[in-house]
Amino acid sequence: MFKRILLAGCMVTGFASAAFAGVDDSDIFSDITGGSANASHSRGLYTPTTARSRVSYSSKYRPGSVIVDTKAKYLYLVETDGKAMRYGIGSARPGFEWGGSMKISRKAKWPSWTPTASMRKRIPGLPITMKGGITNPLGARALYLGTTLYRIHGTNEGRTIGGAVSSGCIRLHNKDVEDLYERVKVGTRVVVLR
């Protein structure tokens, strides 16, 4: 069974049941919640290609900058000495791509979500607002970009990492967005490459 739900600048793709190669991220979910994983919200792939890792990275951007490579499906937090922390991402699907430079304007833990009126019109039944928590599609953390509806946020659907799946938001595994959240501050420069 396959279902899609378009979300405020983001889209979650969920699978009711399927078998996938890779590492199930339910252990990551359990780390976040301190409890057992609920398969409908936590199951997904956490593979070597999407796993957070420190890599060699040559960049014209200053240490502390966040670079989002939407084609390669990676986000880089630029460090010193030609290194970066690399995170696997899910990015915008065709027709919703964008690029540019902006700054992180706000950070939130377990953010609430308010779908836009146009999204609620396209997808009847969406809530007007949803409190933060494990069932919220924005996941464990959100980094708001400028005054836009775009965010770098977590996801409870790990199998979407590595895909072109959103309406413009950049998504990471919950454990990865928690890590990034602690490393960046409001005012951090974010460059989205197309």
Question: Catalytic: which of 10, 41, 169, 173?
Answer: 169
Q: Does 41 participate in catalysis according to the annotation? A: no
Name the DSSP class of 173: E
* Residue 158, SS3 per DSSP: helix
Query: Which secondary-structure segment (H or E) carries 40?
Result: helix 39-42
Q: Are strands 66-69 and 53-56 parallel, antiparallel or unpaired?
A: unpaired
What are 4's strand-pairing partners? 13
Q: Does 10 participate in catalysis according to the annotation? A: no
Measure the CA–CA gap between 157 and 44, rounded to whole angstroms: 6
Catalytic residues: 153, 169
